[in-house]
């Protein structure tokens, strides 16, 4: 085994103590470093499953040269197990990131979007915050499905910040989903807003069609992973 082979890392633990795993591919010292995160919302299991399908697809294959990927298929294992949007504290992790616009009250008073007691209060959020602070990722790519709680949005490649547009357009071609900078409702404290507008890194959020199975989604859009990694 060389250093460039896949490595499984334990990055931390959820509120209920479940291990949160990351899969590392390629050369950690290269410039083109990508972080991909799935399973942020527990009611969107396909976002975790398509990541796992990609891992088993590429684990024995050569990884693209001069690229590095850290893939976290499931950052919210407690939510996935309980089939809840939030983590075991009922916090919507995608409203818990430390963006300057973080708000303590959930959007439209809906507790499904509960942002937590303070920014980055949750252990799952802290894993991503610490990875972004300590490793120089060039781009971050979050995978969701367009599961509707209160605000419906079509499947799309959503991007934050003009620096993210080029990658979003490539992903749009790869997936057949439209690229758009506006998801249609405010998302204070989301990973995309924090990374794209404040850290000024390339930040893309793919919203897959929630009505499809993970197998169908991977078959139709699986190319997005390689396109996202190569950039």
Name the minimum Å distance from CB 74 to Zn ion: 13
Name the minimum Å distance from CB 119 to Zn ion: 19
Q: Phi and psi of 179, rounded to 5°?
A: -95, 130
Candidate list 48, 144, 201, 221; residue touching Zn ion; CB under 5 A: 144
Q: For residues 58 and 134, what is the distance between their CA atoms, to the nearest angstrom?
A: 26
Name residue, tokens 């407690």. Answer: 78
Assess 95 for contact with Zn ion (CB under 5 A): no
Assess 48 for contact with Zn ion (CB under 5 A): no
Residue nearest to Zn ion (CB): 144
Nearer to Zn ion, 41 or 170 (CB): 41
Q: Which of 96, 120, 124, 129 is nearest to 18 (CA)?
A: 124
Candidate list 33, 41, 139, 201; residue touching Zn ion; CB under 5 A: 41
Buried b (16+ CB within 10 A) or exposed e, 134-157: eeebbbbbbbbbbbeeeeebebbb
Q: For residues 173 and 33, what is the distance between their CA atoms, to the nearest angstrom?
A: 21
Assess 170 for contact with Zn ion (CB under 5 A): no
Total binding residues toward Zn ion, as defined by CB under 5 A: 3
Site of interaction with Zn ion (CB under 5 A): 41, 44, 144
């Amino acid at each position: 085994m060389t250093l460039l082979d896949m490595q499984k890392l334990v990055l931390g633990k959820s509120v209920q103590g479940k291990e949160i795993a990351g899969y590392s591919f390629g050369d950690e010292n290269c410039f083109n470093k990508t972080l991909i995160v799935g399973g942020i919302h527990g009611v969107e299991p396909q976002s975790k499953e398509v990541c796992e399908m990609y891992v088993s697809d590429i684990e024995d294959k050569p990884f693209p040269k001069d690229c590095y990927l850290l893939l976290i298929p499931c950052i919210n294992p407690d939510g996935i197990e309980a089939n809840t949007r939030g983590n075991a504290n009922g916090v919507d992790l995608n409203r818990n990131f430390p963006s300057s616009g973080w708000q303590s009250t959930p959007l439209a008073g809906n507790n499904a979007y509960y942002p937590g007691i303070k920014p980055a209060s949750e252990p799952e959020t802290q894993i991503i915050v610490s990875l972004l602070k300590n490793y120089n990722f060039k781009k971050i790519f979050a995978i969701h499905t367009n599961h509707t709680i209160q605000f419906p949005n079509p499947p799309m490649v959503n991007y934050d910040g003009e620096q993210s547009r080029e990658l979003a357009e490539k992903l749009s071609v790869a997936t057949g989903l439209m690229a758009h900078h506006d998801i249609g409702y405010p998302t204070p404290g989301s990973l995309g807003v924090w990374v794209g507008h404040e850290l000024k890194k390339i930040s893309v959020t793919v919203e897959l069609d929630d009505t499809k199975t993970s197998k169908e989604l991977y078959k139709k859009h699986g190319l997005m992973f390689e396109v996202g990694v190569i950039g």
